[in-house]
Structure formats: C-alpha cells, structure tokens
Amino acid sequence: MERSQEIFTVLSDVYGVSPWSLEQIEADLNQANTEYFYLHDHQDLIGFLAIQNLVGELEITQIAIKKAYQGRGLGDQLMAQLSDRRESIFLEVRASNEAARALYAKYGFVQVGKRKNYYQNPAEDAILMVRKSALE
C-alpha cells in the first residue's frame, strides 16, 4: 500500500471520514517543507505526526493514531520526535479534544487564541496553542 493510502486509512479510522482527500495527502507528502513521523505495528501504519516548516516556525498539521491504539502513550512517542526542535511550534485543536490538549500541555504548549466555529461537522472552536522557541 502506498504511504498516502496508509495515511488516508489512519485518518478515516480516526475521523470516520478523512478530513483530507487522498490527493491532498499526496501533495502534502511531496512538499519540501513537510516532515512526517510514523508509528507502526509490525507492517501496519497505526499513527503519524505531520509538521510543516513555515519560515523558521513549525506547525503541527496532523497527528492521528488509530482508535484501537489510542490511550497507550503513542501520542507521547510522536510528540517526543519534536523534543529537540528549537523553533516555535504552533497547532490548532478542537476545543472538545481534551486528551490532545492535555498531551500538548505536557509538552509545553500553551493556549494563545481561539478561532470561533473553525471546524465543521460539528461546528466547533479551534484552540490555538504554541510552544515557544528555545531561542527566545
């Protein structure tokens, strides 16, 4: 299975319907400023973290772990991939996603804003979080 299809499968498992199309995933994988970190169970992709380098700042664009593997500390394994990064790191997360917000706080992220009704189906606010650069 191609990497883009594996990612699509993880996203479909997590969200029911992937918020990204296969074409969007393929385009993202081909971006020079995008990095992916992967978790596998034997040969199966079970989770991933995607970041984008935006002129010296990083943004977490995706983090997803298949439902059957959630609650096992695998999010920690993915977030640990960023522990030595010196840049500021930004992200946005659904206001109701308490588990993800707690994970991000554990890694030094703080809330810096909110986007009203950013997400659809269902409509929900996005919480903006940042981990400041180690150089600041």
Question: Which residues are tagged catalytic?
Answer: 92, 104
| Angstrom distance (rounded) from CA 51 to CA 40 | 18
Look at phi and psi of residue 76 and say left if phi exceeds 0, alpha if psi is from -120 to 50, else beta.
alpha
Look at phi and psi of residue 121 and say left if phi exceeds 0, alpha if psi is from -120 to 50, else beta.
left
Phi, psi of 117 (to 5 degrees): 50, 35
| Angstrom distance (rounded) from CA 54 to CA 37 | 17
